[in-house]
Structure 1
Amino acid sequence: MSQPIWDPTRYPAQLAEKQQQLQQLFAEFSPPDLELFASAPTHYRMRAEFRIWHEGDDLFYVMFNQESKQRYRLDEFPAASLLINQLMPRLLAALRPHLGLRHKLFQVDFLSTLSGEAIISLLYHKKLNHEWEQAARQLRQQLRDEGFQVDLIGRAHKQKIVLERDHVIERLQVAGRELQYMQVENSFTQPNAGMNQQMLEWAQDVTRDADGDLLELYCGNGNFSLAMAHNFNQVLATEIAKPSVDSAQFNIAANGIDNVKILRMSAEEFTMAIRGEREFNRLKGIDLQSYHCNTIFVDPPRAGLDQATLDMVQAYERILYISCNPLTLKDNLQQLIQSHRIERFALFDQFPYTHHMESGVWLVRR
């Protein structure tokens, strides 16, 4: 490409354009002034996935334009963390002499942290055997000898070989406090760690004077739950993905937090339970009536809140809504604004140089 899409000189103008678009999109709700949170212009992504292109005995990273299908060779990727950029050439250099490691390798996934840990996942179109595992262990040791805190995972059809760990430990600085988070390979984590820190500080700030307990839906690995826990008496959080629930339990213990309870349930299931429409074995021994949740936090998928959950959310005094899709957020707000007013409104630029807009809304009952 003649001009990289991640050109830092273009970033301020692109961010200003997003700010204007979001303000115009929500103007009908008369929100307060938009709080703008800028990303680092380079090295902001903690995750990256690359296809591998083979030419004879050589191989290199590529990405494809989804529209034109044009292939681009990547010797570096300024959007990814410095750690990923340091690992990229060293990994290829280590792979080239090993036919068993590079044969039928079609993709490499990187997961890195601000705290200096990384996992490299090697994806293959072949069955992985004992010889592959021995070579992979030598590769991992070679990278460790070069000073990298790295683990390797091999993936193939119905195979996953973890050489030591399938997770990293991220350490985020949030309002003067360090929080530890287990992040599991191939599970969802916030991709922009610097922006995640800003989002957590904003969520802490807007809920500072909230009373009672907090209910959180779609809690993931407890990313927001743990950061906001000290603002509430108790936190009750739901998540459906088992790896995320396991990570959340680990993170609760690692951070010494004793007022957060994680339920493995979807938002839809919890809505049925809280309404008394259905009983769940997973709720045995849990007295939902002992929680006095005046505040609810939601960070739903791109589709937004389904109607039943939206109705349930509207019953709470305060609503904190983080959205990765402003269109479905706007649609949900058409109902929420009938009972609540927007007190805070924020744009978090998770993905610079794209059309993606992450936003936050703090609503209080009228």
Structure 2
Amino acid sequence: MSSPRFNPAAYDTQLADKAARLRELLAPFAAPEPEVFDSPREHYRLRAEFRLWREGEQRHYAMFEQGDKHTPILIEDFPIASLRINELMPRLKAAWAEPALGHKLFQVEFLTTLAGDALITLCYHRPVDAAWEAAAQKLAAELGVSLVGRSRGKRVVVGRDYVNEELTVAGRTFRYRQPEGAFTQPNGEVCRKMLNWAFDALGERQDDLLELYCGNGNFTLPLATRVRKVLATEISKTSVNAALANLADNAVDNVTLVRLSAEELTQALNEVRPFRRLADVDLKSYDFGSVFVDPPRAGMDPDTCELTRRFERILYISCNPETLAQNIAQLHDTHKVTRSALFDQFPYTHHMEAGVLLERR
């Protein structure tokens, strides 16, 4: 990611501009005033990725503006990143002096949690070998982290290849495994606000929930406590494995998770073709009243969007309000927006997360 224009003094104005933009996008649908959920002004980002840039004999953490790979922004500290990342950065940098750790190291990735866990991925232009692993084990113990070494075709894990997170929703704390290399929400405090908003918006239901794009079960865990049972889908194998572990760790037993894309599940529900991964799932046993979607930036494809029209309630979290508005336009003749929200996941950038509840007219 490119470096945000960090300016806490301008935060309130920027947030007001985002809220105005969301109102404008939702205005054609007579949406209610969005609830606005702000972010901490600093130390909010739980993930960070840096390239390494050499100047003389010194190497520095570096980032680049989008589209420019030749003009580095040298980083000594990173106030948008978590305190844990900032604490680890200089200690890791000092460890580069060890040849087994620093030789041909070109990229560093930090993954931390509100619960205090941390994992660092080190990427190399040479094989990670036994000497690297011995040095990494010592460093991991000194820093109190897990380490992952990556080189072409090889990955070596020292400790765990995931971090543990804890998020409290409506008074209950859920535990999450967040794998290295998989998608997780970058702003933990805002993620917690999103989960609580979605939990409240869905309400207590006596029927079933379909969830598309479930990831590692971020929303699945709390929403499953609001309904009779859940059918959830996700295409990423890493995320599916994490979600299954998270369901077990939290003793959530009313969720069936299937590794299918949203498009494939749409075909299955429309009886276009069968899928072996659904062989043991009785789709007709579900009494779906609600669907929850958290799609990628492109939004829902037209067929999946059309599928959601069948449901009384569509709970939609979006990382791209423009495609959210396009999807609402397709559904507007049968569903109305009854709640809307802005979640400022990405302060000091133009990006924002939005949520809407659509209910049948």
Contact 2:104 2:124 in 1 (8 A): yes
What percent identity do the matched residue pairs reach? 51
Q: How big is the shift at 1:318?
A: 0.6
Q: How big is the shift at 1:142?
A: 2.1
Q: How big is the shift at 1:327?
A: 1.1
Aligned residues: 358
Q: Which residue of 2 is the match for residue 255 of structure 1?
A: 250
1:32 lines up with 2:27 in the alignment: no
1:306 lines up with 2:301 in the alignment: yes
Q: Which residue of 2 is the match for residue 214 of structure 1?
A: 209
Structure 2 unpaired stretches of 5+: none
Contact 2:166 2:173 in 1 (8 A): yes
Larger mean CA deviation between 58-67 and 195-204 belongs to 58-67
Q: How big is the shift at 1:179?
A: 0.5
Q: Which residue of 2 is the match for residue 179 of structure 1?
A: 174
Cα distance in 1, alignment partners of residues 205 and 96 from structure 2 = 53
1:242 aligned residue (198, 223, 237): 237
The amino acid that maps onto 1:81 is: S
Q: How big is the shift at 1:59?
A: 1.8
Larger mean CA deviation between 24-33 and 341-350 belongs to 24-33
1:229 lines up with 2:224 in the alignment: yes
Cα distance in 1, alignment partners of residues 29 and 66 from structure 2 = 35
Corresponding residue SS for 2:281? coil
Corresponding residue SS for 1:231? coil
Change (3 A) 1:190 1:4: closer
Corresponding residue SS for 1:13? helix
Q: How big is the shift at 1:211?
A: 3.4
Larger mean CA deviation between 55-64 and 105-114 belongs to 55-64
Cα distance in 2, alignment partners of residues 4 and 182 from structure 1 = 28
Change (3 A) 1:32 1:4: closer
Cα distance in 2, alignment partners of residues 337 and 67 from structure 1 = 37
Q: TM-score, normalised by structure 1?
A: 0.95
Deviation string, structure 1 residues 240-283 (Cα, Å, up to 9, x no partner): 11111111111111111111111111111111111111111111
Cα distance in 2, alignment partners of residues 308 and 131 from structure 1 = 52
Q: How big is the shift at 1:57?
A: 4.0
Corresponding residue SS for 1:26? helix
5 Å matches for 1:217-366? 217-366=212-361
Q: Which residue of 2 is the match for residue 49 of structure 1?
A: 49
Q: How big is the shift at 1:26?
A: 1.7
Change (3 A) 1:82 1:70: same
Q: TM-score, normalised by structure 2?
A: 0.97
Cα distance in 2, alignment partners of residues 311 and 25 from structure 1 = 21
Deviation string, structure 1 residues 19-57 (Cα, Å, up to 9, x no partner): 111111221111011110001111111100001112344
Q: Which residue of 2 is the match for residue 12 of structure 1?
A: 12
Cα distance in 2, alignment partners of residues 63 and 281 from structure 1 = 44
